[in-house]
Amino acid sequence: MPIVAILPDKRVIARAAFTPVVLAAAGNAALTATVSDLKTVEYVLEYNITTSAGQRIDAPRDQKIVGNVVGVTVYAGGATTVGGEVIAVGF
């Protein structure tokens, strides 16, 4: 996904899509996204979580960043496909 902006200190804001996860019933979905425009993600600015069936989604939790991969867990209130994107800052 594209680079959103380059900051004055040369860090980059970029976004990447989460790999979709299909849930057969209510439960946790472990989402991961590789921000290929960055070598290292410093922190996440925003999560945009989507569902295929308009299910209730709890706020992302258990964030883990390793290199340019961002992982997060979300809870969906019913059977759905969970996906979305992450917007991150790094270099």
Q: Residue 54: its pLDDT value, please?
A: 82
pLDDT at 1 over 70: no
Distance CA 63, CA 51 (A): 19
Q: Residue 73: its pLDDT value, please?
A: 98
Q: Residue 53: its pLDDT value, please?
A: 82
pLDDT at 17 over 90: yes
pLDDT at 82 over 90: yes
CA distances from 74 to 2, 12, 36, 69 (A): 24, 26, 22, 16
The residues spanned by each domain of the chain are: 3-90
19-69 pLDDT, tens per residue? 999 999 999 999 999 999 999 999 999 999 999 988 899 999 999 999 999
